[in-house]
A and B are shown apart, each in its own frame.
Chain A
Amino acid sequence: MKELSLHILDIANNSVAAGASLVEITVDEDIENNRLSITVKDNGTGMSPEALSGVTDPFSTSRKTREVGLGVPLFANAARQSGGGIDISSQLGEGTVVTAWFMHNHIDRQPLGDIASTFVALVTESANIDFIYRHILYDKIFEADTREIKDKLKQVPINTPEVVLWLKDFIIEGINTLRR
């Protein structure tokens, strides 16, 4: 993976597979403390303590087709190589929270990358699931919440091409406004 946004897509897909109805993605750029953190929180099925303890092991997976699962290990590696780490907490029946943190200015810290494309890929595939994207920079917050968007759209599906293109621009503009 070349960008953190690709890891976010991969980890959030795990939330979708876990039957979540709401997935919250938070990117927090705490420049003063040189820390970037990414949290993916879902209300899916959650994991047992046994499953949780093996989740960063590449040879641990719940899928039946083969015996490796690389999503979480790759994300953990991206965090560790940039002076950070990963923390995963989960409760059966409650959901899972994955938090990875990075030294913001570390030379091996991957760029955040194309967050808008990640969000659009998630929303178009799982129109019945709600997603929140929250980006914090200093004291400013940008938030995109598909529940508010669907409320405006009423019977028009969120994965309609016109809406998808709007959503992509909405996120790009929102993040750019934070950086200004």
Chain B
Amino acid sequence: MKSLAELEAIRDKTLSEINMRTDRQGGIRIVVGMATCGIAAGARPVLGAIIEEVSKRELKDVIVSQTGCIGVCRLEPIVEVYRPGEEKVTYVMMTPQKAVEMVTEHIVNNKPIKKYTIGEADK
């Protein structure tokens, strides 16, 4: 059974890593659209898959966050990737599987998956 006391152990274990994380600069930002349209289209499991993959791979300079409606509701779930110094990449109609693939290829290997991006959506 989980208890609040376990948090103290987690706290002690992660303290040193935390300092690294707050000091980081110029990290990658992954943003998931989490308005009504995104949620209804399945954004929550996409967000969960990204958080899980990022923590499994221990990617320390990646921030996962959420935003409101991006404006293209029919293409939700939408995920945007901001890498410093590069143009934003917008992924559309995401699924947890595509999201995990995106973390591997785009975030880790720095090869954006073109076929999942907004530019390819209406072709």
Contact = CB atoms under 8 A, between A and B. Distances in A.
A106 B5 CA distance: 40
A129 B54 CA distance: 23
Interface stretch (A30-38, A93-101, A161-169): A161-169
Contacts of B65: 125
A163 B17 CA distance: 13
A44 to B, nearest CB: 16
A121 B2 contact: no
A25 to B, nearest CB: 15
Nearest to B47: A121
A162 B34 contact: no
Nearest to A125: B66
Contacts of B35: 10, 13
A interface bracket (residues with beta carbon within 8 Å of B): 35 or more
Contacts of B54: 161
A125 B64 CA distance: 9
23 contacts: A1-B40, A13-B34, A65-B69, A71-B36, A117-B45, A120-B48, A121-B47, A121-B66, A124-B51, A148-B4, A149-B7, A152-B4, A153-B10, A153-B11, A156-B18, A157-B18, A161-B51, A162-B13, A162-B55, A164-B55, A166-B10, A173-B2, A177-B1
Interface of A: 1, 6, 9-10, 13, 17, 63, 65, 69-71, 74, 114, 117-118, 120-121, 124-125, 148-149, 152-157, 160-166, 169-170, 173-174, 177
